[in-house]
Amino acid sequence: MSEPRLAVAIVTMGNRPREVDALLASVAKQDVAPARIVIVGNGARLGAFPDLPGELTVIETEENLGCPGGRNVALARLREFDDVDVVIELDDDGLLTEADVFRKIRDLYAADTRLGVVGFRIADEHGETQRRHVPRLRAGDPMKRGLVTSFLGGGHAFSMPMLAEIGDWPADFFFTHEETDLAWRALDAGWKVLYEPELLLQHPKTSPARHAVYFRMTARNRVWLARRRLPLPLVPVYLGTWTLLTLARTAPGLLGSGRATALGGLRAWAAGFAEGLRTPCGARRPMRWRTVWRMTRLGRPPVI
């Protein structure tokens, strides 16, 4: 596409007003202005915002819909305007440190009509990128660019034509693994997922386990993901692999001074795993075997 029109979507629970103001200031400094900015108050009432480039729309939902649900609200509103080709979704506590991020995104999509997702590099204020923020198995070099099989939820861009074909975020996931579900659908439909480390989103160093629901939803959503997207022979392989990894990661805590915390997390994980098995996971549309092979060639078969 030539000169794709950009929009920005930000979801916030209203508890980070200073961070949101800083993020919006960094959006305003971009050398390519977005046509539209949508801010969703996810179960929150929001205050006024400063003047920004592009048309600003603020939506306040009655309840917290989770990150994917809140982002779907923003996407639905952008479709009403029918003048956006690429949407850039940013965490409300992120910061764009460079002024050319949107220009680079525009140029990437202009050069490749099958580019579906572009994932940013996430780094803290010291420039460090956590291993979990590199969407490859070999995560030693966060500056290595290339096609991947997943992306980072904190900072990314989507092709709106891609979303029209594959659908939006899996809102029922609420938290964790929604990126993987969307990326697998994109790959299965023949779209590309690109990790571009030159697109930097500065983000505080955090642990996903800071959320009380982390262990339960991580396990539940992995089971849902496998049931929804994997060919049947791969479902037990995927779930078995992650069960072993979870036990291996938990073992040091069980044997050390943090035994009570580790045991509590493991119990929550087991409850989530059981919930994932017994509750509806949504429509089952497993990926094709050629997609499995494509992901394997990209370095991450869908069992790891």
Instruction: Decide the pairing of beta strands 6-12 and 36-41.
Output: parallel
| pLDDT value, residue 67 | 95
Question: What digits encode the pLDDT tens for the residues 116-145?
Answer: 999 999 999 999 998 888 998 887 899 999
User: How far apart are alpha carbons 122 and 94 in whole angstroms?
Assistant: 9
Q: What is the mean pLDDT of the chain?
A: 94
Cβ atoms of residues 91 and 154 within 8 Å: yes
Pick from 143, 151, 87, 97: nearest CA to 119? 151
The two tokens of residue 56 are 């600003």
Torsion of CA 33, 35, 37, 38, to 10 degrees: -160
Residue 106: pLDDT above 80?
yes
CATH architecture of 6-206: Alpha-Beta Complex (3.90)
Question: What digits encode the pLDDT tens for the residues 141-179?
Answer: 999 999 999 999 999 999 999 999 999 999 999 999 999
pLDDT average, residue stretch 215-239: 97
Residue 48: pLDDT above 80?
yes
More confident residue, 284 or 139: 284
| pLDDT value, residue 51 | 86
Residue 1: pLDDT above 70?
no
| pLDDT value, residue 12 | 98
| pLDDT value, residue 254 | 77
User: How far apart are alpha carbons 251 and 90 in whole angstroms?
Assistant: 35
| pLDDT value, residue 138 | 81
Q: Quickly state the pLDDT bin for 207 (edges 50, 70, 90).
A: low
Question: What digits encode the pLDDT tens for the residues 90-101?
Answer: 999 999 999 999
Residue 210: pLDDT above 60?
no
| pLDDT value, residue 20 | 96
CA-only gyration radius of the chain, Å: 19
| pLDDT value, residue 219 | 96
Neighbouring C-beta atoms of residue 237, cutoff 10 Å = 15
More confident residue, 27 or 249: 27
Tell if the pTM clears 0.85, that is, is over it. yes
| pLDDT value, residue 212 | 57
| pLDDT value, residue 211 | 52
